[in-house]
Structures are given as structure tokens and as C-alpha cells.
Structure 1
């Protein structure tokens, strides 16, 4: 597996930092508009993942080796998810992954994962969901793993990609099989809202037809999407499964779905999929965005009539971005209850729940129901290419090549 490409640039952040999620040290507990993280300027950026109250960053060091950097909430509640010692509110290296040739990272609510160039997975943290333990579950959550450790039950798989949801993990093997484990279902029909637990990787059967190869995946709090390819025609479809209380599966209903089911009326040319806690989005190769699921905070970014305002959206619906002109969307990201997008010209849009400044709009509005352009001085100066989001914070990456001097 080749090394990930590295691009020199700067990481910007906004939102709430009371649990260290801004990565700006002791003196910064909130940022109303995106600004650079002091220690993450002019880094050799490979990739980044953020979820809930934590972030993991993959960079290349001066020796050309990959390094994983983490920050955010790291107390007992978060099960020591950062995988390292030291303060939680500044980005620090995960020493246990040094010289491991890490090529991809994933972040869940109480765990993180890293994939090396040999197709092996490292995990740390905990699947901690005590509040959902019901009468049919007899095992207590496992103890925390404070530092990265090879997952012995995944050791025999040649893993090509990994993604983490709230309390579950998915991975795709080099031959296109998709597996998942952890807390993967929630039964909304039971008052206890019991979660189903897979302690070992279980293969996810592809949707009906000839769509035998999994190509991409995305995971929400307790739902998952997969992009599957037809072995004969090469046609690709998006399928979804798991919890569906808010219609986050995009299937036109709110029933839990056990097996991957193809989402109807969705374009075939999907470039990216992303999940918030209970909403989902896709970006097509021709730069259109579709969203569905929970919309109580406007997190789908879809304009609705007054009598349907903030109601859940059960089927994929196109998200309209104002004032794009000849510009177009190149990246999307689902936060806990908000959404982000970046454009070819380096601009950024945000929408949804913004009470903790995670939208970066410097606004008093708690809910922003449609995509709104970020216009702060920093966003005028930096040209961003990618967006990342947790529950109460958002991040952007600005390549140096596109960034004018201050």
C-alpha cells in the first residue's frame, strides 16, 4: 500500500474548545470564526478525521515518515481516546504509531483506528455505551486500551480502508469485502433502545444483484453507508443499513434495516459519502450534493416550506448552494448536527446547528437551515480545500500553494 500524498498547508479550526477540541492550548476555549491552530501551520498534511470531541491528523515528518497527531477530550468519559499522554488541548504525536507506516486514520466516539501500509489495523480507546445497555446484554464494556494496539481479530485480513462511526468500525479488505464490528444497530421499537453488539468482525453481505465489491464506506452514530460496484458492468450504487429513526438511510421510511439496501433515486456517480450523527450526505462527480435524515437543526441544508420546517428528510434531496456562480463544490463533511462544504475556489459553506460556533459564521443564530458562505477575514485570506467536523467544532485545511501571504 503506497504512502499517502502530502500537501503543505495549515489547519484552521472554529467552535467550542472547553474539552480541548480546538487544539489551541489553555487560553482558547472558543473560536467564533476559523483560525489557524498555532502548531499546525505549514505542516505536511496527509489526511485528517474528526468526530464528536476529538481529532486525529496524519502528517509526514521531515524524514518522510508518517506520524499521527491527536487532540481533544481525553478524560475517563472519553475512554482515553487520544492514544497518548500529555495535555489534551494541544496537538501531540501518538508515539505508539511512530515508524508504523500509517496510511489512514479513523475516529469514533470512544475509539480511534489507524491502518498501516501492510493492511493491519491498530485500535485504542473503548466501545463505551453504558447508557444503552439493556436487559439482553450481559457483558460490560471492555476496559480502555490507552495506547495503539494491533487488533488480533483483524490480523488475518488485508485491510484497504477503515471508517469509524459512533461506537462501531467498518473496514474494506483488498478484495472488496466489507466488515463491521462494535455497536452496529439500535432497535427503536424497544423502550430500552438496545444496541446490538458484534464483538468480532462480521462480513456485511452486499446488496442484492451483482454489486459484490465494496469501494467506499461512511459511518454515522449507528448507521452505515457503502458504495458497491457491479462485478460485470462496473456500475456503482450506494446502499445503507442500521438505525433509521430519522430516515438517515434515505429509504423513504424510518424502520431499522438489517442488510445493505440500495438507496433509490440517487445518482450513480458518487465521489464522496459522509454521515453526521443521524443525517447523511453524498457528493457526486459532477459536484452536486444530496442530503437526508434528521433535520431538526437544519443539518441537511435543505430549504423547506414553513409547514415542514426542520422535519426529517426521508429521501435524498439536493442541497442548493447560493452564489456559487462558476465555482463548484469539491468536498463535504457531516458534523454531529451540522454540515460543511468547500469549493474549487477555496471557499467554505456551513449550515445546521451552530450554538457552539461550530459553523464559523460569528452569528447569534442557533440554527442556520441552508448553506451559508463563511466570510471572515481568515477565510478571505486562506483558500481551503477540505472540511472536517466533530460535534461542536469544525476544521478546514488550507494548502499553502493556494494561500496568499499574510
Structure 2
């Protein structure tokens, strides 16, 4: 096996990837997805899955190391994978695109100035009466006392979101050759086969309270109102300076005398591979953060008064698309002025949804796969970078996103979806043609959910979807030929499945319950998934070449939902999961263990 090298510097070679998780805005964060890399381990599998179909490529400047199942629409490059590429641990030497212009300015929220009341009193003029011999002069009138100016209290914005407070233990696993795991730049930090507690995120001293996973980066909120980020920063998704003057080093160099995880010469950029504080200069000091949301190349943060800040950029089929109509790449957090009173964010590969306090949904980013729910004219493409409402009714209560498709939940329990539908990932099968045009251009009610509970959380991978209901049911649909859905394929009734040209099951058309899991949270990576059960256990399945399932398996994909179990997480009360392209993150309540029959620990 050839040695792995990791490059430092802006021009270093990198692979692509994309995350999953946009999750429900619970006390803990949410995340999104990327594609599998073609590796020697999966080469024969990939050949059997190579039927032509439409897909898109997640945005980022990295070359993917994931295996991409055939697709029809393929966006240009993306760190989170969608283009078929050989597994590589090196970054691209240079980008094909023109060097993007970086905007370093920050638009801070401004407070209304306190007007000073005008002085309403003047000294009255006093008429002097002429003295006459008959009458003495009239006494002068006293001038009224001057009134002090009225003091107007500064206007305060109503708090509509609560910051999460429960500190979490954060566990990571999968591929970290570009710093995605946040374990630092040690020799043993680039590939983690099973869950490992991140020592840089100690629950007592740091106190992570919310998490979001992007294609190749992660963002967290802390108990003291800080935002920390780590991972790939090629397009400023980390919202901080990560320039490093270190050099190249072979991670697998047999001549190295150091076995230390903290060895600074291990090849990774320590400023990217170690959690670091986001630059908040220019942000009002009284800002309170309540949620973070990561796309493939951008990060967004929500405040307690419903404002949204963001950084990074969006990508389209042609490459870097832009952060806003006037900014190509935004290098620090800046206010998104069109958004007010927002309650929740959900991030796809290259688009974002925002839900406000009236149940209205806004969408912006790249809309080339109809994930924005509205038509974008070619000559006005940059308009898609402006958050805009579209054809959804009001009174939505939650939102979710896949890589290139979107969801919104109505208060009446109906689930709406729209966007890319090449593999039935929206759940809308009317006029569905697995080999033809099947995108859902406008929000449409997802059928076949009436026999289940109300959907409370929904996440999408590249071409599959996983949802959780108020009854704890785990529902899956979409692409299944890479074991993305966790079901034993031979047990699925034939009428629910679309076959490929070789008469092999390829697509699950209707939402189907995953047996044996009573869930509280779910997450979708590019082609793998994770579910967290009420008893605090985590389950995973799907593509596992880079150990992103946390099961220690890389030779084979995992067909059915399998319990993630090692000493790091055994007996812990896990409550949240997020999935990227080739890595995953799970989180548990600090200091709490599962209780079985009154006893802490494993059943």
C-alpha cells in the first residue's frame, strides 16, 4: 500500500466529501453529505452499480475518495464527493477555476441608536411694564424650570430561540486525512475505525452543546457561547485563519521514530485538524448562538433572536458559485440581512433552508437540481443566492435537507419534499422514471406515510432519505443498492422496488420501516446512515470503506443496521449523530450512562 501524504497550505491536495446530517433543532446540532470514493476494495462493487443515472456532485475543492454510484447530473467538484474519483489522500495541487475573490468584511448587526429628546423648554421673555406715578411696575414672571431630556430605552429584540445547555461528549470515527475528525495532527488521527472520544472537546472545560457535520468539516457550539470549527478550510468554511507554514511528511513513514499522537510533524495542518474558535470580531457582543449548520463548503449560525450569520461559499455544476450575489467567498461570519426571526436551519450539500417563527420557509444556494423549490432563470442565476420564500404553505414546523433534495413538515403532519429524485429520494413516485427526468420541481406532499407516526426529523444523503417519527419509527427510502437503507434487500417486497438493467434491486420507492430500532435521532451521510435509539445506543449501516460506520469494517459495506459498540461508547447515553462523506460524529450526554434494570451500563 503506497504511503499516505497530507499536504499543508492552501494549494495542498485534498479529496472531496459531503456530510449528512441536517438534524432537528434539538439541544444538539445537525449536519450533511458527500459521495463514496472509488477504492480498490470496492472496485468490483462499483462496476455492478454503474448503470447510468442522474446525480449531482457536492461542492468543494477536494477530490473525492468515495465511490460514486452512477449519476445523471454531476456538479463540478466538491469536497464531499459526487464525481467518480480514485481514493486519494492528497489534495489537488491547484484548482481549475479562477482564484476566487475573498470577502473579509463583516456585516455586524446594528442596534438602533437612542435618540436624544429635544429641549422642549425655553426661558420665557418677560415683559417689563413701565412705571407710572400711579402704579408700581409689575413684578417679572419666573421662567419655568428646564425639563431634562426624556431618555429612550434602547429597543431590545425578542428572544425566540433557546441556547442548548447540556454538555456533550463528542466521539468521532472514519477518515480524517484532511483533519475532519478534529483530533489534531498526530500520526494516529487520520484513520479511526471505531468511535474515539475527542480529547480537544472535553465536556467540563469546553462543554460542546450542539454539533453540525458538513462534507469535510464540523462546527460546534460551546456552553460559553463560542463556535469551534475544524476540517477543510479551502473555501473559508471554518470562519477563521488556518494558514500554516508546515511542510509535507509521509504519515506512514516507517522511519519515523515518533509514536506520539501529538507529533507536530505528522503531515496534517494543526490549525485545520484541531478545533479552533471562529473569528467573531465585528459580531455584536451580546449575540447568543443557538444552532450551527454546515454545507459542503459553508457554515451558518443562528442566534437567539432569530438572526443568521454565515461564511464560505456555495458550489454549482460549474465550480464555485458564490456566497451572495456580491461576494464570491466570505471568509468570516457575516449577517444574512434577508433573514429575520428564524427558528431553524437545515443544510444540504450546496443549499440551505431557514424556517421562521410564522412557519415560512426560505431557501438559497445552488438550485440546479430544483432543491430550492423555485424556478431559477439562467440570466438571473445569482438571485438564487438570496434567501427567498417559495411555493410552500405557511405553518411549517420543521425542515430537513438531503444533498440535493429538501423537506418541510407541516403542523398537520404532512411532509413536503422537492429536488433531485433520480433514485426516488424525495419519496414522490408519481410519474417517477428511474431512467428519465424525475426531479420534483415544486414542494409536493410525500405519499405513503399515513400508516406511520408524524415525522419529526428527516435527513437525506446523496440519493437516500432517513426519517424519525414521534413514535420512534425509523423510515427509509431511495437508493438501496449500496445498502444505504439498512434493510435486508431480499426481504423487501418486489412491488416496492425498482430494478436496474441487470434485474437487481436499485431503488426503494416507498417509505419503509427499519425494524428493531426505537429511535430519537437519525443522520445520513453520502451513502451511509446512523440512528440513535432511546436506550442511548447507536446503529449504523451502508458504505464503510473509510470506517465511517464506526464498526471497524472496511472490506465490505454493511447491509443491515448494526449496533456500534466499543469501550468508548459502551453504556453511554448517546443522543445525537451526524454523518459526512467519509467520517461520522456521535454525541452523548456527559456524565450520564444508560440504565438497564436499575444498573448503569450495558444490557
**How high is the TM-score relative to the length of structure 1?**
0.85
> Larger radius of gyration, structure 1 or 2?
2
Query: Cα 1:199–1:294, aligned 2, differ >3 Å: closer, same or farther?
Result: same
Aligned to 1:246: 423
Q: Judge which range, 395-404 or 33-42, deviates more.
A: 395-404
1:317 aligns with 2:512: yes
Bigger relative contact order, structure 1 or 2, given CA contacts below 8 A and separation 6+?
Answer: 2
Of 173, 179, 184, the match for 1:25: 184
Listed one character per residue, the Cα deviations across residues 168-226 of structure 1 (whole Å, up to 9, x for unaligned) are: 111111111111011124279xxxxx9976132221222xxxx5311111111211011
1:263 aligns with 2:446: yes
Question: Post-superposition shift, 1:51?
Answer: 2.0
Question: Do the aligned residues in 1 keep the contact of 2:313 with 2:320 (CA within 8 Å)?
Answer: no
Question: Post-superposition shift, 1:304?
Answer: 1.1
Distance 2:325 2:416 in 1: 32
Question: Do the aligned residues in 1 keep the contact of 2:289 with 2:304 (CA within 8 Å)?
Answer: yes
Of 275, 279, 285, the match for 1:95: 279
Aligned to 2:526: 336
1:45 aligns with 2:208: yes
Question: Post-superposition shift, 1:382?
Answer: 3.0
Distance 1:390 1:185 in 2: 22
Please give the secondary structure, in 2, of the residue aligned with 1:212. coil
Distance 1:305 1:48 in 2: 36
Question: Post-superposition shift, 1:329?
Answer: 1.8
Of 474, 496, 517, the match for 1:289: 474
1:153 aligns with 2:338: yes
**Aligned Cα root-mean-square deviation (Å):** 2.7
1:237 aligns with 2:414: yes
Question: Do the aligned residues in 2 keep the contact of 1:298 with 1:310 (CA within 8 Å)?
Answer: no
Question: Post-superposition shift, 1:379?
Answer: 2.4
Distance 2:457 2:561 in 1: 18
Of 394, 398, 402, the match for 1:220: 402
1:60 aligns with 2:60: no
Distance 2:381 2:514 in 1: 33
Aligned to 1:166: 349
Please give the secondary structure, in 1, of the residue aligned with 2:472. coil
Question: Post-superposition shift, 1:140?
Answer: 10
Distance 2:326 2:298 in 1: 13
1:119 aligns with 2:306: yes
Where does 1:326-405 land on structure 2 (aligned, <5 Å)?
A: 328-403=518-593
Aligned to 1:203: 389
Distance 1:302 1:132 in 2: 36
In structure 2, runs of 5+ residues without a counterpart are 1-159, 243-270, 372-377, 492-498, 594-599
In structure 1, runs of 5+ residues without a counterpart are 189-193, 230-234
**How high is the TM-score relative to the length of structure 2?**
0.58
Question: Post-superposition shift, 1:16?
Answer: 0.3
Distance 1:346 1:73 in 2: 30
